Amino acid sequence: MPDPDVALDKLYKHILGGTNPPGAASSTGDIGQLIKYLVANLPAGEPMPPIIGPHSSFALGAEIAAAASGAASQAAWSSANRAFGYPFRVTRTWTAVKGFYYAGTTASGNVDIGIYTDAYAKIVSKGSTAHVGAGEVIEVDIADTPISPGLYYAVLAVDNTTAQFTNITTGDSRLLEALGCFVANGAFALPATITPAAVGGAVANIPIFGFSNRALVT
């Protein structure tokens, strides 16, 4: 029967190029360190796409399709200083480099866009910036921010009710609640911690906005 220590030593050398695993004085017989190394270096989940928006399979894409929703429509923001958030997931470490929103035909006031943890703590945001564009996707530069695997919220806030955005039409505010969306009043510019509230009858559609790990092609 082969010596298990010898076999383990050969496996280490194959994986680590002849070096000992991190934290181990010797490769021979240190199965715990090998397991830790393998777990830490195996790919974690399916690859991430370059862009995450509400229509993404990493956000609400499947649910929107199942509800037969998705036609685009334009509307003014529902309430001044209100934020809207939707959930998305990260399966591998992913760096948010740009934010974006799909502007409607009327530009007005200011917007803020950011990412929050599932405990509603802010990770990154642009800060107040002018709402621009007419029927086009607007790129917003943010600080490059690595995002670890987990559940997060993409959040957009607007300081007025004249600015228009292009939305995914659902026509059902209760559906948005079932999808995990929320609003937060008095949340402009985006605060360090956001206080979510039920969508209720305030919002029936999902504004198209999100984040990218590279510059957008628009």
- Residue ranges, the chain, pLDDT below 50: 4, 25, 27-28
Q: What is the pLDDT of residue 181?
A: 94
> How do residues 165-196 score in pLDDT, each as one tens digit?
999 888 777 888 888 999 999 999 999 999 99
CA–CA distance, 208 with 158 (Å, rounded to integer)? 14
Q: Which residues contact 126 (CB under 8 A, 6 or more apart)?
A: 99, 111, 112, 113, 114, 140, 141, 142
Phi, psi dihedrals of residue 136, rounded to the nearest 5°? -145, 160
Q: Which residues contact 51 (CB under 8 A, 6 or more apart)?
A: 100, 210, 211, 212, 213, 216
Contact 34, 8 (CB under 8 A): yes
- Nearest in space to 103 (alpha carbons), one of 63, 158, 171: 158
Length of the chain counted residue by residue: 218
pTM of the model: 0.78
Q: What is the pLDDT of residue 10?
A: 57
Q: What is the pLDDT of residue 154?
A: 98
The ranges of the chain annotated as CATH 2.60.120 are 51-212
Structure tokens at 129: 């910036």
Q: Which fold has domain 51-212?
A: Jelly Rolls (2.60.120)
- Nearest in space to 26 (alpha carbons), one of 12, 42, 41: 12
> How do residues 24-47 score in pLDDT, each as one tens digit?
545 445 556 656 665 555 556 778
